């Protein structure tokens, strides 16, 4: 739609006077296909960095509309989803003439599943407890879900604050790039839309910067807290938010501290036995590894020709992220558990020669 509107407003200009409606529709459809992971490849050019902001916008609009419809059954919800998936699949099929779209079809399937779950969990007929013995999910499984949600929220919040700091520091450079491009009001709208479309990608890059491993924007470049090796970058406004100089390794302490505080918070809000807590943490770390791999792959890609063929987090980000975010969070959750606290108190009494039997007792769920 944006491509068509832009064409209508500027079609009288000589440079694009020969542009047809079909050309405009192909541009708009190509942008939609790329939001699901389609790749544009030419002789010397590859563009595969997904604008996840557009994907999230489509997902939010679809989820809100389906929730408002309140499907009475799973089949009704599936029919509602098909009303989006089938036209979207046709659009991807049309984009196949100039884009590589097989990954986009896979992403579309995952997208539909996520929307289905997001809508279904708020409806009265959805009850996952029925599939478990006793009619309720296992406590350790429920705790795993809570831990993943809390840690994801902490990571997202801290990364957003760090990105905001980068925006403030790079605002002047971004303004100079913007002015040098001489955009009219239509171009300004397009640039703003592009920045918003890549905000989720920038959040992923910021999270990789916080854990110390950093990210690259082109071959032989590194952006990390302790090292910045830059090069000639295209005049893209949001690239002005990238760090220009090293700041030292102190930002690596931010996710560690956030993980410890999150572990302390969760340790006071659950009554799951220690053995089940350990099982939940093991599953959480496995989810972090798998989810981290998916996210790192999602915010990586190509941004153009030549050295920009590879942009995104460095390979070490996956393990650095689990160590920086997950390990402090899990270790604090275990050490602050009631069972561990009681055992530590009894041990200290034995070391100091005090009477262990004089300790106040409480019933512990082993």
pLDDT digits (tens, 9 = 90+) for 28-64: 788 889 999 999 887 777 888 999 999 999 999 999 9
Q: What is the pLDDT confidence band of residue 219, given thresholds at 50, 70 and 90? A: confident
What distance in Å separates the CA atoms of residue 129 and residue 23, rounded to the nearest whole number? 51
- The pTM score is 0.86
Rounded Cα distance, 228 and 58, in Å: 35
pLDDT value for 273: 84
Q: Which of 94-108, 207-221, 270-284 has the lowest mean pLDDT?
A: 270-284
Angle, helices 185-197/52-69, rounded to nearest 10 degrees: 80
Examine the pLDDT at 315 and tell me if it is beyond 90.
Answer: no
d(CA 114, CA 66): 13
Structural domain spans, the chain:
1-126, 138-335
Distance CA 276, CA 126 (A): 26
353 CB neighbour count, 10 Å cutoff? 6
Residues 312, 301 contacting (CB under 8 angstroms): yes
Q: CA-CA distance, 69 to 80, in Å (whole number)? A: 9
What is the SS3 assignment for 84?
Answer: helix
Is the pLDDT at 268 greater than 80? The verdict is: no
Helix (H/G/I), strand (E/B), else coil: 304: coil
* Nearest Cα to Cα of residue 207 among 221, 193, 223, 218: 223
**Cα(118)–Cα(142) distance, rounded to whole angstroms?**
17
Average pLDDT estimate for 296-312: 86
Q: Which helix (H) or strand (E) holds 41?
A: strand 40-41
User: What is the sign, positive or negative, of the torsion defined by CA atoms of 355, 357, 361, 366?
Assistant: positive
pLDDT score at 184: 77
């Amino acid at each position: 739609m944006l491509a068509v509107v832009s064409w209508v407003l500027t079609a009288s200009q000589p440079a694009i006077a020969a542009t047809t409606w079909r050309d405009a529709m192909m541009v708009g459809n190509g942008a939609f296909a790329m939001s699901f992971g389609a790749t544009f490849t030419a002789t010397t050019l590859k563009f595969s960095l997904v604008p996840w902001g557009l994907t999230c916008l489509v997902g939010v609009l679809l989820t809100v509309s389906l929730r408002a419809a309140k499907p009475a059954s799973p089949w009704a919800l599936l029919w509602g989803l098909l009303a989006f998936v089938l036209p979207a699949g046709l659009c991807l099929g049309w984009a196949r003439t100039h884009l590589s779209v097989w990954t986009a079809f896979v992403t579309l399937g995952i997208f539909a599943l996520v929307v289905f779950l997001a809508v279904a969990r708020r409806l009265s007929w959805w009850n996952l407890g029925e599939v478990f013995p006793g009619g309720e999910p296992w406590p350790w499984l429920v705790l795993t879900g809570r831990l993943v949600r809390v840690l994801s929220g902490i990571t997202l919040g801290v990364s957003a604050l760090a990105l905001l700091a980068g925006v403030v520091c790079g605002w002047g450079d971004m303004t100079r790039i913007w002015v040098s491009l001489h955009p009219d009001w239509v171009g300004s709208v397009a640039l703003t839309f592009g920045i918003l479309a890549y905000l989720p990608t920038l959040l992923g890059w910021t999270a990789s910067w916080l854990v110390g491993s950093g990210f690259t924007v082109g071959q032989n470049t590194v952006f990390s807290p302790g090292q910045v090796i830059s090069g000639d970058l295209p005049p893209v406004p949001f690239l002005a938010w990238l760090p220009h100089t090293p700041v030292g390794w102190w930002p690596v302490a931010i996710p560690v501290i956030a993980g410890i505080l999150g572990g302390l918070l969760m340790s006071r809000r659950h009554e799951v036995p220690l053995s089940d807590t350990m099982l939940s943490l093991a599953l959480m770390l496995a989810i972090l590894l798998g989810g981290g791999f998916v996210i790192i792959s999602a915010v990586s890609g190509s941004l153009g020709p030549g050295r920009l063929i590879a942009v995104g987090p460095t390979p070490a980000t996956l393990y650095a992220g689990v160590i920086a975010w997950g390990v402090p969070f899990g270790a604090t959750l275990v050490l602050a558990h009631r069972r561990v606290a009681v055992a530590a108190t009894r041990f200290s009494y034995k070391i100091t020669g005090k009477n262990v039997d004089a300790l106040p007792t409480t019933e512990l769920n082993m």
